[in-house]
Amino acid sequence: MTNRWLGNDVILKGGLAPIEIAHPKGQAEATTLFGTMIRIDDDEYSISPPSLSESVADAVRKLNLNIAFTMCTHLTSAIFDSASDEDRELFFPCTGKHYQIVDSLQDIIESEEGDVKKLQYVCFVRRERVVLIWGDDEASILARGEDLLTVMLSHVSFFDTSISNRSTC
């Protein structure tokens, strides 16, 4: 079996446990913010796991994405911790990359055309503390996920060394 970014199996094997959200009014089944959606028809998606939060699914549908997954790691958690509540964009000085921040999945669902920068293919979602990553096909989304991890790792490494050494990337 090859390692893949897509699907809950890889997320769980990578040591990332899903965050569960209790349903309101005592419903028994919990949902998760971690998952993958792949368009299989005009308005139909294959969703994994089936317990993926409706908020994630609705945000992906609103943006009319072909393929998307959510990610949360210790790195993304540290990035969220470093961002202020007013930040609408993250800048990573080592790579020169910028990524958008939205306050919540609900904000994506209620957004107008152009509010979410679809050509960035990445959106940090503050309230849920997940990163939504999307692409046009499986190959592109895998490359974007790897690129984002590289960017975040270089950011953390830069700040670890810059505290004592002020070296450049």
**Tens-level pLDDT at each residue, the chain (169 residues):** 232 333 333 333 333 334 444 444 554 457 899 999 999 998 899 999 999 999 999 999 999 999 999 998 888 888 898 888 899 999 888 888 999 999 999 999 999 999 999 999 999 999 999 999 999 998 899 899 899 988 888 876 655 544 333 334 4
* 107-113 own/partner pairs: CB under 8 Å, 24+ apart: 108/59, 108/62, 108/63, 108/132, 109/55, 109/58, 109/59, 109/62, 111/62
Q: Which domains does the chain have, with CATH numbers?
A: 8-20+30-164 (3.40.225.10)
How long is the chain? 169
Identity (one letter) of the amino acid at 112?
Answer: E
Dist CA 111 CA 94 (whole Å): 31
Closest CA to 102 of 94, 92, 93, 120: 120
Backbone angles phi, psi at 40, to 5 degrees: -115, -15
CA distance to 26, 68, 72, 114, per residue, from 145 (Å):
36, 10, 12, 23
Q: How many Cβ atoms are within 10 Å of 105's Cβ, its own excluded? A: 26
113 close to 104: Cβ distance less than 8 angstroms: no
Q: How many Cβ atoms are within 10 Å of 51's Cβ, its own excluded? A: 16
